[in-house]
Amino acid sequence: MFGTMLWKRWKKRLAGWKRLYLSKGAHLTLIKSTLSSLPTYYLSLFPLPVSIARWIEKIQRDFLWGGVGDEHKIHLVNWKQVCSPIAQGGLGIRNMLLFNKALLGKWLWRYVNEFDSLWRRVVDCKYGSQKRGWCSNQTRAPYGVSLWKYIRAGWESFAKHTTFKMGDGSRIKFWKDSWCGDQPLQTRFPELFRLACDPNATVDTHLRFHDATHVWDIEFYRPFQDWEVEMGVSFMELLYSLPIRRGTMDSMWWQPSTKGIFEVRSYYSVLVQPSGTYFPWKRVWNSKVPSRVAFFIWTAALGRILTTDNLRRRRILILDWCCMCQSDGESVNHLLLHCKVAQELWNMILNMFGVSWGMPRDVVDLLSCWSGNVGKGDAGVIWRAIPHCLMWCLWGERNARTFVDESRSLPDLKLHFLQSLSFWLKASRIVNPVSITDLIDLCCFCN
């Protein structure tokens, strides 16, 4: 039923979009603003079956790469990479299963904080509440409504990102809960934990008040040995350094948020495991260029545009030959950086700006070291847009030679690049060179 309702809504949107000529940048915008948002209400209430999640992702994949219905288009980048955060080289499209888990995590947070709400009382009546009231009991019985059982099953993952703020201490376990830092005391002081008389005690059992002062009273099986005294001193110093909120209730603190309040966005970000790889995402997406060009540069930086070497990896029989320099094999880095034709364009730009440059090994390295500090004001904006425009023109020229059998001479290609750059800058309304001569003067003025 969920899939049927969702498909009806998507079908209306896709029917209108099919009639439009949309670039990859526009496809990406529509996926993020519409296709990924349509199921949000359902995902915040119900668990998403894996089969439906795969179906949703297939529609998004096909629409992103231009194949809708029976039309097939090559998917240049794997979906896991596409769903990665932008800062890690992805497009930031939501993973439906993880987004569903993050949305349902909101109910676990509400259970903790909405003590007197009707829905919590119903859950407690049906499943029972754990002694300290942080979550309901878990049930594996084959009967009953599966909705809350599914939400409750996510508690272990949810609880890893929480700590406690002590109030009266009646709901926090002294040794086993994280309430005085990111780790439980049993993890920070394992030797002392083994000596504790009551390892399951709550905080309030060890805390004594005398008028305005408080005393920590922890019982151990035996006195500390000489080599344990220093550890015991550190342990007590930690306890006495903690603020005491007398007269308040214990509360839960959400670690991924600076405010300590649960956010779906922060939970989703920790569920998406970071890759740790560097990607120059600001250079790719923050330049003043058309969105379709930024999308192309992203694909090229990942080494996924359909040059002959990538086509051969996909088992397409084709001669590995560069139609630009007519000598070497065609790869992404060769075509856009090291080809003789590409070198002529890069050298023209570097001479205009008066910059000495050693061409990096690949596109990612070039974007990483293409600093925006060369020139200030208008010249700096032009400098940041140059890699996008130059590589886009090279790719267009390569495709014209390959598929249309048309080619520009080297001077014409340079002129085409400067015209394209001038047009993009005018469209951005930040830099407005009247002519190509003005554009060249702006570049040379920063020397």
DSSP H or E segment with residue 215? strand 213-216
How confident is the model over 16-35, as a mean pLDDT? 74
User: What per-residue confidence (pLDDT) applies to 13?
Assistant: 62
DSSP summary character for residue 38? T
Mean pLDDT is highest, among 28-42, 143-157, 361-375, 405-419, for 405-419
Q: What percent of the chain has pLDDT over 90?
A: 38
What backbone phi and psi angles, to 5 degrees, belong to 103?
Answer: -65, -40
Question: How many CA atoms are closer than 13 Å to the CA of 442, on its beta-carbon side?
Answer: 21
pLDDT band of residue 28 (cuts 50, 70, 90) is confident
User: What per-residue confidence (pLDDT) applies to 78?
Assistant: 92
Contact call for residues 107 and 151 (beta carbons, < 8 A): yes
User: What per-residue confidence (pLDDT) applies to 233?
Assistant: 92
User: What per-residue confidence (pLDDT) applies to 118?
Assistant: 93
Answer whether residue 11 shows pLDDT above 80: no
Measured at the alpha carbon of residue 317, what is the angle toward residues 312 and 318, in degrees to the nearest 5?
A: 80
**Would strands 207-210 and 213-216 be described as parallel, antiparallel, or unpaired?**
antiparallel
Nearest to 348 by CA among 413, 294, 285, 287: 413
Mean pLDDT, rounded, of the chain: 85
Q: What is the pTM (predicted TM-score) of this model?
A: 0.84
pLDDT band of residue 97 (cuts 50, 70, 90) is very high
pLDDT in tens, 218-242: 989 988 888 888 998 999 999 998 8
User: What per-residue confidence (pLDDT) applies to 264?
Assistant: 93
- Dump the DSSP string for 303-336: T-S--HHHHHHTT-------TTTSSSPP-HHIII
Q: What percent of the chain has pLDDT over 70?
A: 89
Answer whether residue 444 shows pLDDT above 80: no
Residues forming a β-bridge with 213: 210
User: What per-residue confidence (pLDDT) applies to 161?
Assistant: 92
How confident is the model over 72-93, as a mean pLDDT? 90
CA distances from 219 to 198, 199, 224 (A): 8, 10, 11
Contact call for residues 442 and 432 (beta carbons, < 8 A): no
Residue predicted with more confidence, 62 or 436? 62
User: What per-residue confidence (pLDDT) applies to 7?
Assistant: 58
What backbone phi and psi angles, to 5 degrees, belong to 81?
Answer: -65, -40
pLDDT band of residue 69 (cuts 50, 70, 90) is low
User: What per-residue confidence (pLDDT) applies to 81?
Assistant: 92
At 349 the three-state DSSP class reads helix
pLDDT in tens, 328-348: 789 999 999 999 999 999 999
pLDDT in tens, 164-199: 998 888 889 999 999 988 889 999 999 999 999 999
Task: Determine the Cα–Cα distance for residues 263 and 102; give it in Å rounded to an integer.
Answer: 9
pLDDT band of residue 67 (cuts 50, 70, 90) is low
